[in-house]
Amino acid sequence: MKRYFSITKLTLFMAALLLFPACHDLLDEPAENRTFTGETDYTITDNMGLPLLGMYADFYNSEWEVFPLISVRGDDVNAGGLGDQQDFAETDKYNYNKDYWMSNSVWQNYYGDLFNAHSAMEQIAKYQEFAANKGLADQYIAEVKVMRAWYLYYLTLTWGDIIITNGPDPSQLLVAKLSTQEEVMKHISAQMDEAIPLLPAVHPAERADIRGGITKFTALAMKARANLTLKNYAAVAEATGQIISSGKFVLATDFYNLFKIPGKLNKENLLELQYSDFGKGSGDAINYLNDFFGPQGWTPKVTGAGGGWGFYEPSLKYIKFMLDRNETIRLETSVLFTNRGIAEIKKDAKYATLPAWISNTTRSGDRINDYARALFASGKHYLPSDQLILGRTGYGSNKNFICIRYAEILLMHAEALTNGANSSAMTADAAVNLVRSRAGLPPINGVTNAQVMDEKFAELAMEWGIRFYDMVRLGNYAALSYDGRTFTPDKIFLPYPQNQVDQIPALKEAVNK
């Protein structure tokens, strides 16, 4: 469990990372002296940014199990087998265990983050009473609202009906009623409408105070996502159109390195979890636990670089889909091949002869050896060993974790237009062809909704469950029934964690209906 309502050492490291040098003096203070209590002097308005920093630290300090549980379902990705996480593999096959620890952890931690968000907003509002720049407090609160929207968004995608929190007191869960997914998404959209005019209209990397922090365009992206789930295509087109028309975002020219160290705070990224080794080969570091994604066996170009656990692999269906499209750039970036995996592809006579570039050695010189748990590994979660800071050996150390990309914005825009929405920002053809051009594919004209969805499959595979939630939203259950899996509507949501059902009356009532 996270320690709630306090600014921990991690927060202060984040302060250094986020260019808040004034906080450095707090490093020597006992943690209890940095806890927000009734004794906090809110007249010291120079400290108004501390609750916000605490939320950024909370947001970046994502437990490793959150992303896998959110994203493992779908025909783009498989759970690595032969491990001690059998329930994770079963989740990938739509066989859910209400007692699975990972499911309970994600629920518990995201709700803890929500209560932290409410606490941070209340703290900022108390400082605001004494602040000369009250607009800055409004901006800080708006930033926290976007983080809160992120948590609600994935909670409702994962479980459907959930509780919308309205304050920092966890006891509200004992009396609150469940809100439907439609209600949650409408709430998120309305919250983003409140936040958008209060946030800086810059690219995240252009922020001078918190480089890489949340901006107006992050909020617009969350509004677009929520309305896409609602199938409110006009609202999707309007929100994505604002992002496109801003001119603040462009697709990275180097797709391969977008997901690696050179891609940090790229002009394509609207939101990313930021990590750092602080430019040093030893000592303090803030990193996501990328081991989950890495191959168990590899021969790294840089001797001593650590491997991973092998629990997350691109699906054979996805790889064949990409081969059928003559994809090179996106396929090479998204998939790490083993020789065993290559042999498995070739068992299908249609793919007996593969392009010469497909190899178990990456362009960066790392060799992906055979290992029992999986046939392939995720290239989007791979950091070449020669991009590690000398002295660091952890898999993916110093790598940021991308949350929202401009490519997704373009394809959401195209999807909205092919569903009848209008926009003066960009045509559906232009949006799709920007993405295709970067992938080295020829342009298409008169793009259809089916072509947009294929483009989303190719471009956004293994990223935050986007493919799964797209297919669920469109009712394309046949796509999710693959490689022996059978998907039915009753598998859209995970069961509420039993540990939460035992404590929260609204969940118990829902389960017993």
Read off the pLDDT of residues 209-263 as tens digits, 9 standing for 90 and up.
Answer: 999 999 999 999 999 999 999 999 999 999 999 999 999 999 999 999 999 999 9
What is the rounded distance in angstroms from the CA atom of residue 142 to the CA atom of residue 421? Answer: 28
pLDDT at position 32 is 30
Query: What burial class does residue 73 get, using C-beta atoms within 10 Å of its C-beta: 0-12 exposed, 13-18 middle, 19+ buried?
Result: buried
Cβ contacts of residue 199 below 8 Å, gap of 6+? 139, 142, 143, 146, 214, 215, 216, 218, 219
- Report if pTM > 0.85: yes
What are the tens digits of pLDDT across the range 268-312?
Answer: 999 999 999 999 999 999 999 999 999 998 999 999 999 999 999
pLDDT at position 5 is 27
pLDDT at position 82 is 65
Q: What is the residue type of 68? A: P
What is the rounded distance in angstroms from the CA atom of residue 277 to the CA atom of residue 265? Answer: 16
Check pLDDT > 80 for residue 14: no
Check pLDDT > 80 for residue 21: no
The total number of residues shown for the chain amounts to 513
Q: Of 88, 98, 37, whose CA–CA distance to 373 is shortest?
A: 88
Q: Kindly list the structural domains of the chain, giving each domain's residue range(s) and its CATH number in brackets, ordered by start.
A: 9-199 (1.25.40.890), 290-399 (no CATH)
What is the rounded distance in angstroms from the CA atom of residue 453 to the CA atom of residue 472? Answer: 12
Check pLDDT > 60 for residue 120: yes
pLDDT at position 513 is 85
Whether residue 67 contacts residue 309, with contact meaning beta carbons closer than 8 Å, is answered with: no
Cβ contacts of residue 86 below 8 Å, gap of 6+? none
Tokens of 340: 């065993």
Backbone angles phi, psi at 78, to 5 degrees: -125, 155
* Angle in degrees, 0-180, between the axes of helices 316-324 and 339-346, rounded to the nearest 10: 70
Check pLDDT > 70 for residue 28: no
Residue whose entry in the numeric block shows the structure tokens 């789930």: 229
What stretches of 349-448 show up as alpha helix (H) in DSSP?
A: 406-418, 428-438
Check pLDDT > 50 for residue 89: yes
Whether residue 414 contacts residue 451, with contact meaning beta carbons closer than 8 Å, is answered with: no
Whether residue 220 contacts residue 359, with contact meaning beta carbons closer than 8 Å, is answered with: no
Confidence of residue 83 (pLDDT cuts 50, 70, 90): low
Check pLDDT > 80 for residue 178: yes
Cβ contacts of residue 21 below 8 Å, gap of 6+? none
Classify residue 279 as left (phi > 0), alpha (psi -120 to 50) or beta: left
Name the 3-class secondary structure at 267: coil
Other Cβ atoms within 10 Å of 71 Cβ, number? 20
Check pLDDT > 60 for residue 437: yes
pLDDT at position 38 is 60
Strand partners, 404: 271
Burial 145-156 (b: 16+ CB within 10 A, else e): bbbbbbbbbbbb
